[in-house]
Chain A
Amino acid sequence: MLNAIIMPNRLEITLKSDLFDAEGEGIRQKATHYFGINLSQVRTIHVVTIDARLSDDQLKKIQTEVFTNPVTQISSFKPLPVEFDWTIWVGYRPGVKDNPGSTAVEAMEDILGAKFGPNEAIYTSKRFCLKGNGLTAEDTDKIAGELLANDIIQQWKIFSKDDWDPETGIGFIIPKVKLNHIPTVITIPIDSDSTLKQISDERNLALNPNDIPIIRKYFLEENVQATRAKVGLSDPTDIELEYISQARSDHCNHNTFRGLFRYHDLAADNLELVDNLFKTCIETPTLTLKERKSWVVSVLWDNAGVGRFDQDHHYVITGETHNSPSNMEAYGGAITGIVGIYRDPMGTGKGSKLIMGSYGYCVGHRDYKGNLKPRLHPRRLLDGVIEGVRDGGNKSGIPTPFGQVFFHHGYMGKCLVFVTALGIMPAMVNDEPSDQKDISPGDLVIMCGGRVGKDGIHGVTAASETFSEHTPAGHVQIGDPYTQKKMHDFLLEARDEGLIAFITDNGGGGLSSSVGESAMFSNGCDIQLEKVPLKYEGLDQWEIWISESQERMTVAVRPEDLKRFLELSKKHAVESTVIGTFTDTGKLHISYNSKTCAYIDLDLLSSGFPQWEFDAHWQPPDKRGLFEPVLRKPVDYETLLKDILARPNICSKEWITRQYDHEVQGTSVIKPLVGTGRDVNSDAVVLRPVLDSNKGLAFSQALIPTYSLIDAYHMTSCTIDEAVRRLIAVGANFEQHIGGVDNFCWPNIQYDLENNPDGKFKAAQLVRSCRALRDICLAYEIPLLSGKDSMYVDGHLPGRYGETHKVSALETLQFSATSVIDDITKCITMDSKMPGDLVYVLGTTGNELGGSEYYEHFGYTGLNVPRVMPEQFAPVYKALGHAVGKEILASAHGIYRGGLGVHLALTAMGGNLGMEVDLANVTVDDVDRNDKILFSESAGRFIVSIDPKRKKIFEDIFKDLPCACVGKITGKPDFVVKGIDSKIIISVPVDSLKTAWKEPFKDLC
């Protein structure tokens, strides 16, 4: 039988013709909205191609019991006679993760009681049946290529009614990976720097030229050569250089943040040497604060930061970005990003349970109609990342209650996809602190979870490879939340039984990073690479070592615990494999079929690799020619307010929020959407992560990159201030506990006359941003629990004449903030509650419209960017905390992008109640115009509403602080604003404001 040829079978499944095909209808509508192609009908057919030896009875059994719902579906092993003018078949390229394919195998093995052979598999694909008058081949191909498929991971075929053979249909397409390659280790000559440089370039090693001499020096040392000779090695092997390249990459090593900056303030003609931004602006302040904040449990070394939640629990948090992959393949990149970040808390301490995730998307304008041709139009890109994070989060059973979207042309070059993950763990596991972990020599190296393929090798550089029928398109991946959820449940059970000595995730760099970094704890390891389970044969040793195949964790298990560990692994249907042993030899020792292919001193990496260096030139905004626009005050404030509410970065994005399960785990306290209509965005979210406790975990994020157009220092300080105010607005205590996570996304800062002429300025912006991070975090006492940086957010986009344009992102910081709430029943929401309640504005409104939404609405940037003044703001924040403690606030809401006018409107819209305010009562500093009071984005401000009975006690708390009663909530649902000249400038129904605010994306769901 072994050599018998497998006759594949192809099952087509579709909904009964009288059932509504929601997926097909969605495609029909997008074809119209996106391309103006009018279709009368789209029906979807699911195709299951079974490349396995099965009898007719077996086929019949799986057809009826697994693949066909007798109530809703019909199916056939012959092409289904669904009507079409054109039909499109879309399937994965070889090597792309086909999640439904693998679950189908599980189901069939179960029901048939037989295991699939190594050459047997199931592949899923889809066929779309399109009907439309005059539909052309070009239309159909456009829908296929720009809506249904992405050529990086998928292949497609189109058939017209006439050239369709109802017998053969799409034929049999088996995307099986066939490499026919014998794994080989190659020795790399290092006779000169230039040779090594050349080979580095040829092999995409991406070795930094400055590192090359150090690498050569090591391999040329006599005693090194002598010890290597003993294990049969001479010059470095490819796997050794790949290991060094991974470990030295900016991703793993943060060479930029640890670099040396020559910061030149041109206006002051002052040159400073800034040595290591990470140390001076992140590490040192955080360690200082850790001394003062007993709740800070573990920071700056593990996969995520750890803070105390209560006596018996710690929470865990980290965040990162997945920009380049999402930019290539939005869905795959985003789902891989969210599922990937979830492994960090799983790999923190001895492992934590995931309790929430959040998202941040920065993309070009959804309705972009210009001449630039990004790989994916922003609209399609956004659709894809939304769906990727949706499936990754929802299928992981982890709530996704918070997120942000920001549209700006600068993200056309490369989009940003921020993903953040929080977990919780018992303070003690088996009488040991859960945040600590260690490895002893002799502990076993175990790889858990998915198998290894060519996935993610050398990241997106591989994207330039040309595809053949059977070469894996693995460099862009599709995360598999199902496989990871099984692993998550398994690892927590193993942790609670005390079986996990050490754990870390496999992300960037694969085993090379996870094992390489773990080995530092015991000071050595022996890895038998042939033991690593592969998706398909034929991977070279170096590929197995650095592959970024997803859903894998690396665990250190004591030999005596192995049996039990594997039992649990089996019970949870998770694959776990011993691939080696940790040692204390000081060596990273890798063999393949008992032949050594790597033998490196672990301390090589800490042996004087040169620091990266940057020139940073700062020119203040006014010297750069920025100025305040000459803008006389408007008259029609009603239309103006509605138009600002309808701007893409202000308007409702409920369609995204509702796609995300934000209540799984039953912990939801403050939801993403609040108010009587449950449709206005909350300032922050609050969870009850320990179900039988009334303590809460509050979480918020902020992102205001527009201010970087003026000064990244103030962009950063305002972003942090906003995240903090968001927490305070739901009832967090500013004095007790605020934790932070910084995620930098920056364009390339390395000056190059040709390719990066403003590199020195961008470098200066980074220095200033880091200094603001340091200053504000120290002033507000925010330890940075975790953080990541992603540089090189630039892209070269083709234009209409074949030319290309470099498009760089705004200098962007996403700041996440957390707080622990002692009593969740004291939490508050932003929506107005009762007619008659008094409305207060806390804080001072200044002439600070630089970079504001208002100026942007007219195409201006301006100069007067908002500034954060901690010494003035902190007392207000503390007072607000007292007011929350006394439970005298009916609502609280920060004033963010768009200013007072927008956020007063949102407060009214939240309660669906009216509001009367008098701008003359607002506390201002050097502002004498209604438009500036309404749209200034000064930091440090809140809108609160209270029961008039509480007036006295409330005002006593804010005695001597900027706190002004500006109006009241009314029963008549009108939004009425009186200008400083005591004339009514706005009087509109609240629901008309809400309609305007919802208008832009109202058709999406």
Chain B
Amino acid sequence: MSKVNALVLAGYGLNCDHETAYAFELAGAKATRVHINSLIDGDVKLEDFQIMVFVGGFSWGDDHGAGVIQAVRLKTNLGEKLKEFIDNGKLVLGICNGFQTLVNLGLLPGFNHDYSVRSVALTFNDCGNFRDDWVNLKVNSASPCIFTKDMDCLELPIRHGEGKFYSDESTIEHLVNSNQVVIQYSMPNGELANSAFPYNPNGSVLDIAGICDPTGRIFGLMPHPEAYNHPTNHPDWTRQKEELKRQGKVFEISPTIGLRIFQNAVDFISNSNR
């Protein structure tokens, strides 16, 4: 069976391309870091890939709203190709700045499979500042999202200044009813954060941390699964190791729950290739 090809966008101030590609490699994909211009110039062809990743970073410095200019550039130069890519049942993942770009492109929420409308936004954190912290996340098992299949909760780092998920009530209602709300900020005990800072780090409406389109094949989230690519990325790993030692167990380097998101994507493609 041919390898799953993941395209990882790079350039223009994006900065999570290396570790995102690494995460996909660990999940068994062939990941290629591709400069936005190489895609636009046609040096690299989008149709050669089954997964497209919009990675974290500060595209164009995020100067006019996070992800806005990246969205404009891709829409202007690649609009049709992106639509084809989606229509062909392929996967799109947007992490942090990538999520911000997807909502500005209109690929999310993609109500009624209209992938051109900006109806949700990621705006400035209520705390008024960029924030780096680990958060607890609750996964909506009823969501069609491919990437979070068989997951119920996880911890990931967030690192953003514009992560507050916002939209009008009817849109939020629509998202909820169609189970497009995929992950929400929660308390360590698994209950929703209910806007409590720092569990909900940015004031997102309904603690929303990530959403998908109606097909579940386009997924955007603020937290960084690629930054949990190794057990030692977890803030408590030295404590976990000590606890294991006391039980006579060894601390093993096994795939993290962060990698599961990439694994689900790769498995989905491999299975549909069969």
A110–B14 CA distance with the chains assembled, in angstroms? 18
Cβ-defined contact, A71 with B232, below 8 A: no
Given A663-B157, A834-B242, A23 and B127 contact (CB-CB distance below 8 Å): no
Q: Which residues of B in the span 1-53 have a Cβ within 8 Å of any Cβ on A?
A: 10-16, 18-19, 22-23, 35, 37-38, 41
Interface string of A659-693 (1 = CB under 8 A from B): 11111111111110110101000000000100110
- Is A1005 an interface residue, CB under 8 A from the partner? yes
- Is B245 an interface residue, CB under 8 A from the partner? yes
Cβ-defined contact, A890 with B242, below 8 A: yes
Tell me which residues across on chain B come within 8 A of A825, comparing CB atoms: 232, 241, 251, 253
Interface string of B114-129 (1 = CB under 8 A from A): 0000111101111111
Tell me which residues across on chain B come within 8 A of A669, comparing CB atoms: 232-233
Question: Which residue of the partner chain A has the closest CB to B168?
Answer: A71
Least CB distance, A91 to chain B, in whole angstroms: 15
Cβ-defined contact, A71 with B61, below 8 A: no
Question: Which residue of the partner chain A has the closest CB to B201?
Answer: A658
Cβ-defined contact, A107 with B11, below 8 A: no
Cβ-defined contact, B35 with A571, below 8 A: yes
Given A486-B11, A834-B246, A66 and B72 contact (CB-CB distance below 8 Å): yes
- Is B218 an interface residue, CB under 8 A from the partner? no
Given A71-B120, A71-B167, A72-B166, A103 and B159 contact (CB-CB distance below 8 Å): no
Cβ-defined contact, B60 with A107, below 8 A: yes
- Is A706 an interface residue, CB under 8 A from the partner? no
A99–B65 CA distance with the chains assembled, in angstroms? 13
- Is A694 an interface residue, CB under 8 A from the partner? yes
Least CB distance, B114 to chain A, in whole angstroms: 14
Given A71-B167, A100-B64, A833-B239, A663 and B69 contact (CB-CB distance below 8 Å): no
Question: Which residue of the partner chain B has the closest CB to A655?
Answer: B129
Tell me which residues across on chain B come within 8 A of A674, comparing CB atoms: 235, 238
Given A20-B126, A482-B61, A694-B253, A71 and B119 contact (CB-CB distance below 8 Å): yes
Question: Which residue of the partner chain B has the closest CB to A44?
Answer: B124
- Among B38, B232, B236, residue most surrounded by chain A Cβ atoms (within 10 Å): B232
Given A659-B131, A666-B229, A103 and B119 contact (CB-CB distance below 8 Å): no
Least CB distance, A853 to chain B, in whole angstroms: 28
A486–B58 CA distance with the chains assembled, in angstroms? 11
Cβ-defined contact, B132 with A661, below 8 A: yes
Given A71-B167, A666-B229, A825-B253, A659 and B120 contact (CB-CB distance below 8 Å): no
Tell me which residues across on chain B come within 8 A of A434, comparing CB atoms: none
Q: Which residues of B in the span 43-96 have a Cβ within 8 Å of any Cβ on A?
A: 56-58, 60-65, 68-69, 72-73, 76-77
- Is A47 an interface residue, CB under 8 A from the partner? no
- Is A573 an interface residue, CB under 8 A from the partner? yes
Given A397-B16, A482-B13, A691-B19, A676 and B236 contact (CB-CB distance below 8 Å): yes
Cβ-defined contact, B121 with A72, below 8 A: yes
Residue among A72, A104, A480, A485 making CB contact with B123, cutoff 8 Å? A72
Given A666-B233, A674-B235, A829-B238, A397 and B15 contact (CB-CB distance below 8 Å): yes
Question: Which residue of the partner chain A has the closest CB to B228?
Answer: A666
Given A482-B61, A486-B12, A825-B241, A666 and B19 contact (CB-CB distance below 8 Å): yes
Tell me which residues across on chain A come within 8 A of B245, comparing CB atoms: 887, 947
Cβ-defined contact, A663 with B159, below 8 A: yes
- Is B227 an interface residue, CB under 8 A from the partner? yes
A535–B23 CA distance with the chains assembled, in angstroms? 41
Residue among B56, B124, B236, B246 making CB contact with A22, cutoff 8 Å? B124
A557–B81 CA distance with the chains assembled, in angstroms? 37
- Among A25, A103, A662, A670, residue most surrounded by chain B Cβ atoms (within 10 Å): A103
A572–B11 CA distance with the chains assembled, in angstroms? 7
- Is A69 an interface residue, CB under 8 A from the partner? yes
A691–B18 CA distance with the chains assembled, in angstroms? 9
Q: Which residues of A in the span 213-256 have a Cβ within 8 Å of any Cβ on B?
A: none
- Is B260 an interface residue, CB under 8 A from the partner? no
- Is B133 an interface residue, CB under 8 A from the partner? yes
The SS class assigned to the A binding surface is loop
- Is A630 an interface residue, CB under 8 A from the partner? no
Residue among B22, B41, B124 making CB contact with A692, cutoff 8 Å? B22
Residue among A104, A111, A666 making CB contact with B226, cutoff 8 Å? A666
Question: Which residue of the partner chain A has the closest CB to B250?
Answer: A825
- Is B230 an interface residue, CB under 8 A from the partner? yes
Cβ-defined contact, B64 with A71, below 8 A: no
Cβ-defined contact, A66 with B242, below 8 A: no
- Is A70 an interface residue, CB under 8 A from the partner? yes
A362–B219 CA distance with the chains assembled, in angstroms? 44
A99–B134 CA distance with the chains assembled, in angstroms? 30
Least CB distance, A624 to chain B, in whole angstroms: 45
Least CB distance, A833 to chain B, in whole angstroms: 5
- Is A967 an interface residue, CB under 8 A from the partner? no
Cβ-defined contact, A111 with B72, below 8 A: yes
Least CB distance, A891 to chain B, in whole angstroms: 8
Tell me which residues across on chain A come within 8 A of B210, comparing CB atoms: none
Least CB distance, B156 to chain A, in whole angstroms: 10
Least CB distance, B188 to chain A, in whole angstroms: 10
Cβ-defined contact, A69 with B118, below 8 A: yes
- Is A43 an interface residue, CB under 8 A from the partner? no
Cβ-defined contact, A676 with B72, below 8 A: no
A664–B235 CA distance with the chains assembled, in angstroms? 14
Tell me which residues across on chain B come within 8 A of A887, comparing CB atoms: 245
Least CB distance, A79 to chain B, in whole angstroms: 20
Cβ-defined contact, B15 with A664, below 8 A: yes
Question: Which residue of the partner chain B has the closest CB to A665?
Answer: B19
- Is B98 an interface residue, CB under 8 A from the partner? no
Question: Which residue of the partner chain B has the closest CB to A21?
Answer: B124
Cβ-defined contact, A25 with B128, below 8 A: yes
Cβ-defined contact, A573 with B37, below 8 A: yes
Cβ-defined contact, A99 with B61, below 8 A: yes
A671–B131 CA distance with the chains assembled, in angstroms? 14
The segment from A167-175, A388-396, A575-583 that touches chain B is A388-396
Tell me which residues across on chain B come within 8 A of A106, comparing CB atoms: 60, 69
A111–B236 CA distance with the chains assembled, in angstroms? 46
Cβ-defined contact, A659 with B129, below 8 A: yes
- Is B203 an interface residue, CB under 8 A from the partner? yes
A1005–B132 CA distance with the chains assembled, in angstroms? 11
A70–B120 CA distance with the chains assembled, in angstroms? 9
Cβ-defined contact, B132 with A660, below 8 A: yes
Least CB distance, A94 to chain B, in whole angstroms: 20
Q: Which residues of A in the span 62-111 have a Cβ within 8 Å of any Cβ on B?
A: 65-67, 69-72, 99-100, 103-104, 106-107, 110-111
A645–B88 CA distance with the chains assembled, in angstroms? 61
- Is A26 an interface residue, CB under 8 A from the partner? yes
Cβ-defined contact, A103 with B130, below 8 A: no
Cβ-defined contact, A481 with B233, below 8 A: no
Q: Which residues of A in the span 807-857 have a Cβ within 8 Å of any Cβ on B?
A: 824-825, 827-829, 831, 833-834
- Is A628 an interface residue, CB under 8 A from the partner? no
Least CB distance, A827 to chain B, in whole angstroms: 7
Least CB distance, B37 to chain A, in whole angstroms: 5
Cβ-defined contact, A394 with B58, below 8 A: yes
- Is B217 an interface residue, CB under 8 A from the partner? no
Question: Which residue of the partner chain A has the closest CB to B232?
Answer: A669
Q: List 22 A-B contacts (CB under 8 A).
A: A67-B64, A71-B120, A100-B61, A103-B63, A103-B69, A107-B60, A397-B15, A397-B16, A482-B60, A485-B15, A659-B129, A659-B131, A660-B132, A661-B132, A664-B15, A665-B19, A669-B232, A671-B235, A676-B239, A694-B253, A825-B253, A827-B232
Given contacts A666-B228, A691-B18, A827-B232, 16 further A-B contacts (CB under 8 A): A66-B64, A69-B121, A70-B118, A71-B118, A71-B168, A103-B60, A395-B13, A397-B16, A397-B58, A485-B13, A571-B41, A657-B132, A660-B130, A666-B227, A670-B238, A678-B134
| Residues in chain B within 8 A of chain A (CB atoms) | 10-16, 18-19, 22-23, 35, 37-38, 41, 56-58, 60-65, 68-69, 72-73, 76-77, 104, 118-121, 123-134, 157, 159, 166-168, 203, 224, 226-230, 232-233, 235-236, 238-239, 241-243, 245-246, 251, 253
Q: Which 7 A-B pairs have the closest CB atoms?
A: A397-B15, A666-B19, A100-B63, A482-B61, A71-B121, A22-B128, A107-B69
